[in-house]
């Protein structure tokens, strides 16, 4: 990861007000005696005001003079100490400026600009002597703020019993959210649309659009050693939410020691839906890469024994229909070589996988799976192996063996694993939420251990992403989404088509998702489950532009791919990008995304349950002629009755071209655009 030097100018109490005005604007040159601090975005359009009012920290957010967050309270409750929501006195305000560019190891853009103004508001509670700081960072596309408890006498070990962060939002705004939950699958549900005043609880991200068209996402960044934040509505104040942290088994929230900074509470803001999806605010609020050498981290597509298990064509368990056999995985290795996929996944390869999932041995393969031969064949074909580690929530058992497992994988040349935590989370001798502080610590221990052995992680049933991929880029992707498998488990209607048009502006705001797209035979039902994928085949191709994951699965089987003409589009498709543009997007209706790798663009367009015709200008192209390879639904394609047919057309286009895309309900279009050099 390459980063240009951070250029900061610190404007503390010893710097004159005139200099503060010159650098940050007149509103930031406030003295501590005024009991307030103001910090603006670099372009001046966004303003955050922090005050100590009647002894409590409060903040307000305005954009272009309009209130986005009305005066809202801040603070923490610590066990056996006075609440830090009162009795505070403002002592000092320090301003600084951030302007840097950095290159992700993988991402949606090759270069990221990190430009913001920051303010540290320092307070003290004379009654207890406790010092509490609020760090506010304001970007052109949003803001983040976090609490910091500096090192101080009398605050060694302490317990957070509640976080009292308020968000006073426009109650008439239209929102998309998931109800707050502590279950393992709380993030794997369908997003609901409602006025903010009707939302009682929410996971984050919470996305909403105001009546005047401002788009916002409320989330968190840099979630480390702290519980996940959910939101609880104040029934007496419509549109007002308070942070509700996931509890430890004893009912407290976090057990801390010494100096500590909480995760950032974030608002990503834009004029259009695409501004939210293009933002790097969450990543920028995380620390730079912690690894000196990242050469071993390789984004790319992968294939494997997975969808056939979901469709019950084969089994995780041993027997006549076992999926992860030596011969079957070799067939997927051949598929990987054909498609340019970097890795092959095998679920059910190890002893005691499947069934009760108890007593698993993550090092000993099944009798019909010759691991050395599979690894030899994979190396011979330039393909890596992803080892499935489904803990089934036996986390203590897994942690005891973690270093032994990873060390052996490193010896074998296995550099990627897919973890899983389905149904429970037994850690520290108790079953707990996947999202409490100790669970968050476990996920971090896995990332750290994997890094020691140069292993990449794809985590399922894990904590939501909060931009940590910048700091720990071996944390490649994760679940936390109603992905492809929910077409099995959500009943005959699976994931309704509109869900795919919502996800880029909700779940994907925090980071990549292992949605596992690419099922081209959407009606395949070998076990007679009575369920199917609720899209057309062309939509599955378009999802490779709409959804981002640096480990991106080509989820269908070798037989289904080779029988479908859309297979050609997936060969050598990238999983990390140089540039991303969200072109025409209405949350819940339709989404059009273009992503560039080198000089080739991939454009995907999808719609909800309604037919749509979209006009898409190609102004993002550089000068010259391009060959557009278009994969679209055929004239007789019908999402319900005839979802498989696609038409393939090749035509010449330029930046001045406007394409007309006809999308049937549940349908889509995928386009590859290559420069023509003759």
DSSP 251: S
Determine the average pLDDT of the residues in 319-324: 97
d(CA 220, CA 674): 38
| Spatial contact of 415 and 342, defined as CB atoms under 8 Å apart | no
| Spatial contact of 133 and 147, defined as CB atoms under 8 Å apart | yes
d(CA 449, CA 483): 27
DSSP 451: H
Sequence-separated (6 or more) residues with CB below 8 Å from residue 160: 76, 77, 78, 79, 245, 252, 253, 254, 255, 256
What pLDDT digit, counting tens, does each position of 172-213 carry? 999 999 999 999 999 999 999 999 999 999 999 999 999 999
Q: How far is CA 599 from CA 49, 104, 465, 653, 655, in A?
A: 44, 19, 30, 14, 14
Torsion sign (Cα): 454, 335, 670, 652: positive
Dihedral class, residue 430 (left if φ above 0, else alpha if ψ from -120 to 50, else beta)? beta
DSSP string, 27-43: GG---GGGTEEEEE-TT
Q: Are strands 46-53 and 658-663 parallel, antiparallel or unpaired?
A: unpaired
What pLDDT digit, counting tens, does each position of 580-607 carry? 999 999 999 999 999 999 999 999 999 9
Confidence of residue 34 (pLDDT cuts 50, 70, 90): low
**What does the pLDDT read at residue 64?**
96
DSSP 288: P
Helix (H, G, I), strand (E, B) or coil at 53: strand
Name beta bridge partners: 242: 166, 232
Q: Are strands 579-586 and 590-597 parallel, antiparallel or unpaired?
A: antiparallel
Sequence-separated (6 or more) residues with CB below 8 Å from residue 676: 624, 625, 626, 627, 652
**What does the pLDDT read at residue 227?**
98
**What does the pLDDT read at residue 491?**
87
What pLDDT digit, counting tens, does each position of 205-235 carry? 999 999 999 999 999 999 999 999 999 999 9
**Given a cut of 90, is residue 33 above it in pLDDT?**
no
DSSP string, 458-490: EESS-PPP-STTTT-TTEEEE--S--TTHHHHT
Sequence-separated (6 or more) residues with CB below 8 Å from residue 175: 193, 194, 195, 196, 199, 202, 206, 207, 208, 209
What pLDDT digit, counting tens, does each position of 612-665 carry? 999 999 999 999 999 999 999 999 999 999 999 999 999 999 999 999 999 999
Nearest to 129 by CA among 165, 155, 148, 147: 155
**What does the pLDDT read at residue 20?**
37
Sequence-separated (6 or more) residues with CB below 8 Å from residue 645: 537, 633, 634, 636, 637
Written in H, E and C, the secondary structure of 323-387 is CCCHHHHHHHHHHHHHHCCCEEEECCCEECCCCCCCCCEEEEECCCCCHHHHHHHHHHCCCEEEE
Length of the chain: 678
What pLDDT digit, counting tens, does each position of 333-381 carry? 999 999 999 999 999 999 999 999 999 999 999 999 999 999 999 999 9
H-only helix segments in 393-480: 395-412, 437-452
DSSP string, 95-125: EEEEEEEEE-SS-SSSSEEEEEEEEEEEEEE
Determine the average pLDDT of the residues in 90-94: 96
Is the whole-model pTM more than 0.85?
Answer: yes
What pLDDT digit, counting tens, does each position of 508-528 carry? 999 999 999 999 999 999 999
- Residue tagged 């919470």 (tokens): 206
Torsion sign (Cα): 307, 313, 317, 320: negative
d(CA 250, CA 499): 36
Confidence of residue 12 (pLDDT cuts 50, 70, 90): very low
Chain-wide mean pLDDT for the chain? 94
Q: How far is CA 365 from CA 332, 343, 362, in A?
A: 18, 18, 8
d(CA 246, CA 101): 35
**What does the pLDDT read at residue 604?**
98
DSSP string, 295-312: TT---EEEEEETHHHHTT
**What does the pLDDT read at residue 35?**
82
d(CA 36, CA 45): 19
Determine the average pLDDT of the residues in 125-131: 97
**Given a cut of 90, is residue 31 above it in pLDDT?**
no
**What does the pLDDT read at residue 677?**
84
Nearest to 159 by CA among 252, 248, 242, 76: 252
Instruction: Please report how many Cα atoms fall inside a 13 Å half-sphere around the Cα of residue 138, on the Cβ side.
Output: 28
Q: How far is CA 633 from CA 242, 554, 644, 646, 666, in A?
A: 45, 20, 8, 4, 10
**How many whole angstroms from its chain centre is CA 667?**
25
Determine the average pLDDT of the residues in 148-161: 96
């Amino acid at each position: 990861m390459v980063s240009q030097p951070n250029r900061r100018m610190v404007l503390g109490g010893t710097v004159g007000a005139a200099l503060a005005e010159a650098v940050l604007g007149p509103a930031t040159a406030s003295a501590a005696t005024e009991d307030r601090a103001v910090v603006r975005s670099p372009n001046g359009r966004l303003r955050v005001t922090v005050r100590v009012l009647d002894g409590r920290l409060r903040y307000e957010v305005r954009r272009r003079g309009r209130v986005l967050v009305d005066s809202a309270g801040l603070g923490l409750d610590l066990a056996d100490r006075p609440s830090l929501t009162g009795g505070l006195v403002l002592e000092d305000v320090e301003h600084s400026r951030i302007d840097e560019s950095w290159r992700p190891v993988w991402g949606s853009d090759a270069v990221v600009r990190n430009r913001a103004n920051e303010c540290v508001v320092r307070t003290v509670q004379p009654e207890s002597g406790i010092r509490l700081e609020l760090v506010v960072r304001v970007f052109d596309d949003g803001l983040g703020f976090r609490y910091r408890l500096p090192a101080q006498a009398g605050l060694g070990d302490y317990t957070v019993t509640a976080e009292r962060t308020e968000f006073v939002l426009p109650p008439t705004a239209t929102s998309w959210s998931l109800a707050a939950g502590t279950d393992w699958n709380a993030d794997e549900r369908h997003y609901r649309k409602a006025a903010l005043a009707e939302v009682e609880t929410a996971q984050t991200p919470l996305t909403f659009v105001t009546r005047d068209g401002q788009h916002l996402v409320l989330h968190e960044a840099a979630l480390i050693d702290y519980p996940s934040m959910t939101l609880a509505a104040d029934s007496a104040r419509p549109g007002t939410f308070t942070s509700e942290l996931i509890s430890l088994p004893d009912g407290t929230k976090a057990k801390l020691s010494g100096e500590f900074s909480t995760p950032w509470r974030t608002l990503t803001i834009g004029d259009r839906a695409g501004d939210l999806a293009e933002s790097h605010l969450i990543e920028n609020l995380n620390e730079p890469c912690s690894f000196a050498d990242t050469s071993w981290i390789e984004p790319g597509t992968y294939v494997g024994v997975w969808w056939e298990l979901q469709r019950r064509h084969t089994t995780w368990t041993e027997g006549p229909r076992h999926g992860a056999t030596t011969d079957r995985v070799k067939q997927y290795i051949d598929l990987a070589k054909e498609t340019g996929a970097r890795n092959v996944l095998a679920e059910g390869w190890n002893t005691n996988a499947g069934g009760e999932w108890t007593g698993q041995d993550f090092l000993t393969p099944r009798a019909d799976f010759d691991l050395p031969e599979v690894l030899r064949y994979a190396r011979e074909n330039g393909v890596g192996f992803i080892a499935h580690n489904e803990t089934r929530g036996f986390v203590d058992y897994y942690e005891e063996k973690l270093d032994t497992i990873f060390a052996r994988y490193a010896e074998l040349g296995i550099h990627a694993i897919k973890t899983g935590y389905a149904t429970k989370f037994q850690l520290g001798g108790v079953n707990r939420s996947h999202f409490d502080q100790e669970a968050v610590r476990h996920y971090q221990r896995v990332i750290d251990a994997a890094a020691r052995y140069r292993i990449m992680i794809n985590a399922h049933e894990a904590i939501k992403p909060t931009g940590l991929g910048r700091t720990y880029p071996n944390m490649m992707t994760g679940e936390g989404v109603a992905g492809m498998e929910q077409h099995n488990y959500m009943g005959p209607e699976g994931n309704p088509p509109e869900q795919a048009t919502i996800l880029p502006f909700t779940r994907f705001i925090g980071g990549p998702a292992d949605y596992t797209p690419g099922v081209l035979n959407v009606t395949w039902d070998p076990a007679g489950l009575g369920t199917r994928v609720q899209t057309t085949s062309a939509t599955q191709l378009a999802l490779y532009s709409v959804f981002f994951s640096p480990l991106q699965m080509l989820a269908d089987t070798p037989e289904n791919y080779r029988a479908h003409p859309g297979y050609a589009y997936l060969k050598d498709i990238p999983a990390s990008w140089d540039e991303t543009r969200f072109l025409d997007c209405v949350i819940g209706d339709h989404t059009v995304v273009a992503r560039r790798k080198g000089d080739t663009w991939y454009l995907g367009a999808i719609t909800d349950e309604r037919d749509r015709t979209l006009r898409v200008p190609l102004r993002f192209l550089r000068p010259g002629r391009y060959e557009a390879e278009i994969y679209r639904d055929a004239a007789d394609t019908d999402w319900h009755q005839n979802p498989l047919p696609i038409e393939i057309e090749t035509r010449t286009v330029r930046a001045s071209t406007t394409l007309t895309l006809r999308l049937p309900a549940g349908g889509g279009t995928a386009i590859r655009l290559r420069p023509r050099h003759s």
